[in-house]
């Protein structure tokens, strides 16, 4: 049976603190894929105990460590990587996923807002590539050769200007540049760098973003139900409910994005490097819907 394997590996997942989100799902996916140790990092660790329980229930022996980290801090990132190497002797995958989305019209966007977005969603992925790769280059008897994978969460906003405000769009586009250049810079180190650009995905992002943007530790454990209600309004405004029969109008579950992150982190994706995978159920390519083609009916099934 073909399966994603992160067997014996040690990694970091950032933005893993929310009760319902891509990072949390990636921790679970990595544990299911046999990872030995996963550092679940966030400003918000309120949901960490339930994550730990969920990982334990998988019974794969994965150790999950909750770690308060502001991803924009070079000092905190380097210090965490050094601690991991001291404790576990190896470092294999870095999922740079933390982010937030506070959308403002241009006249309300301040330079401080803009620069915070740069710190969290542009500088942090750069730190993951730069220092994560140095940690992945450490070898030992168990890991005789430099090797690893960095995955960065970009966004559909990097592919079309209408998905988000200017700051978010700019920094997510920059993520794509970090992926493309990073993959070349690390080619001699046997380290791959890829990105995922999710489309509308059900997560805590609309509930937590104002607190996350402040950069201070916070504690939020909103239920999936509360989160879904907030998202429903946003998805409706975005037109997702206008024609729900269309595949591209669906919202993804966080697991769907996390499974892609786990795949890209693993050797199954050995041939994939320097790529940004748009995981938006086809929404971006369907930008004008059927405006030009005219209505396209569902395909008539074969008569059998
Ligand atoms: N949900 C979507 O529709 C969607 C679409 C495209 C891209 N994304 C991206 O996916 C990633 C994950 O978001 P999600 O949707 O799972 O939301 P989420 O809110 O569930 O998770 C994001 C987490 O990042 C954390 N975070 C923010 N700033 C941080 C910092 N400075 N240091 C440490 N942690 C920090 C937040 O506290 C939060 O827990 C983000 O980068 C987001 O931009 C999400």
3.20.20.70, 3.20.10.10, 3.40.50.720, 3.40.1410.10: CATH of 10-279: 3.40.50.720
**Closest CA relative to residue 264, chosen from 26, 10, 57, 79:** 26
Distance 226 CA to ligand 1 centre (A): 17
DSSP-H helix ranges across the chain = 22-32, 48-58, 74-88, 111-118, 124-136, 166-185, 205-214, 224-237, 254-265
Give the number of other CB atoms < 10 A from CB of residue 245.
Answer: 6
Distance 239 CA to ligand 1 centre (A): 22
Tell which atom from ligand 1 comes closest to the C-alpha of 101.
Answer: 43
Q: Is 44 in the pocket of ligand 1 (CB under 6 A)?
A: yes
Helix count and strand count (H, E) for the chain: 9, 7
Per-residue model confidence (pLDDT) at position 23:
98
Which residues on neighbouring strands pair with residue 201, listed in sequence order?
A: 252
**CA-CA distance, 16 to 155, in Å (whole number)?**
17
Contact yes or no for 30/55 (Cβ under 8 A): no
Which residues on neighbouring strands pair with residue 66, listed in sequence order?
A: 40
**CA-CA distance, 78 to 270, in Å (whole number)?**
26
Per-residue model confidence (pLDDT) at position 82:
98
**CA-CA distance, 263 to 140, in Å (whole number)?**
25
Q: Is 64 in the pocket of ligand 1 (CB under 6 A)?
A: no
**CA-CA distance, 268 to 263, in Å (whole number)?**
6
Contact yes or no for 199/156 (Cβ under 8 A): yes
Domain boundaries, the chain: 10-279
Q: Is 212 in the pocket of ligand 1 (CB under 6 A)?
A: yes
Output the six-digit token pair for 201. Answer: 């995905």
Among protein residues, the one whose CA lies closest to atom 30 of ligand 1: 70
The angle at the Cα of 199, spanning 4 to 212, to the nearest 5 degrees, equals 95
Per-residue model confidence (pLDDT) at position 21:
94
Per-residue model confidence (pLDDT) at position 96:
99
Per-residue pLDDT of the chain (304 residues; tens, 9 = 90+): 999 999 999 999 999 999 999 999 999 999 999 999 999 999 999 999 999 999 999 999 999 999 999 999 999 999 999 999 999 999 999 999 999 999 999 999 999 999 999 999 999 999 999 999 999 999 999 999 999 999 999 999 999 999 999 999 999 999 999 999 999 999 999 999 999 999 999 999 988 999 999 999 999 877 778 887 888 888 888 888 888 899 999 999 999 999 999 999 999 999 999 999 999 999 999 999 999 999 999 999 999 9
Q: Which of 39, 43, 99, 101 to mutate to test the pocket of ligand 1 (most atoms within 8 A of CB)?
A: 99
Strands, sheet with 10-14, edge to edge from the N-terminal-most edge strand: 63-68, 37-42, 10-14, 93-96, 148-153, 191-198, 276-279
Per-residue model confidence (pLDDT) at position 236:
84
Contact yes or no for 133/148 (Cβ under 8 A): yes
Distance 96 CA to ligand 1 centre (A): 10
Q: What is the CA radius of gyration of the chain?
A: 19
Per-residue model confidence (pLDDT) at position 229:
82
Distance 147 CA to ligand 1 centre (A): 27
Among protein residues, the one whose CA lies closest to atom 40 of ligand 1: 99
């Amino acid at each position: 049976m073909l399966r994603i394997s992160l067997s014996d590996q040690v990694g970091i997942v950032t933005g893993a603190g929310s009760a319902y989100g891509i990072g949390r799902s990636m921790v679970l996916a990595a544990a299911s894929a046999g990872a030995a140790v996963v550092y679940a990092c966030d400003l918000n660790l309120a949901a960490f105990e339930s994550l730990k329980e969920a990982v334990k229930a998988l019974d794969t022996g994965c150790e999950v460590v909750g770690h308060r980290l502001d991803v924009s801090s070079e000092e905190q990132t380097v210090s965490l990587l050094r601690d991991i190497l001291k404790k576990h002797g190896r470092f294999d995958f870095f999922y740079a996923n933390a982010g937030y989305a506070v959308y403002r019209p241009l006249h309300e966007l301040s330079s401080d807002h803009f620069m915070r977005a740069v710190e969290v969603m542009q500088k942090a992925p750069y730190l993951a590539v730069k220092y994560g790769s140095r940690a992945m280059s450490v070898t030992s008897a168990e890991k005789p050769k430099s090797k690893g994978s960095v995955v960065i969460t970009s966004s559909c906003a990097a592919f079309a200007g209408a998905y988000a405000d200017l700051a978010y769009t700019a920094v997510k586009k920059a993520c794509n540049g970090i992926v493309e250049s990073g993959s070349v810079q690390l080619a001699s180190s046997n380290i791959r760098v890829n990105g995922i650009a999710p489309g509308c995905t059900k997560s805590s992002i609309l509930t937590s973003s104002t607190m996350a943007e402040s950069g201070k530790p916070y504690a939020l454990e909103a239920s999936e139900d509360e989160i879904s209600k907030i998202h429903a309004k946003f998805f409706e405004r975005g037109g997702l409910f206008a024609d729900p029969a269309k595949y591209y109008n669906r919202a993804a579950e966080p697991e769907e994005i996390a499974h892609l992150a786990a795949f890209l982190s693993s050797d199954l994706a050995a041939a994939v490097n320097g790529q940004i995978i748009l995981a938006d159920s086809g929404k971006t390519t369907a930008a004008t819907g059927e405006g030009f083609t005219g209505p396209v009916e569902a395909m008539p099934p074969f008569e059998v």
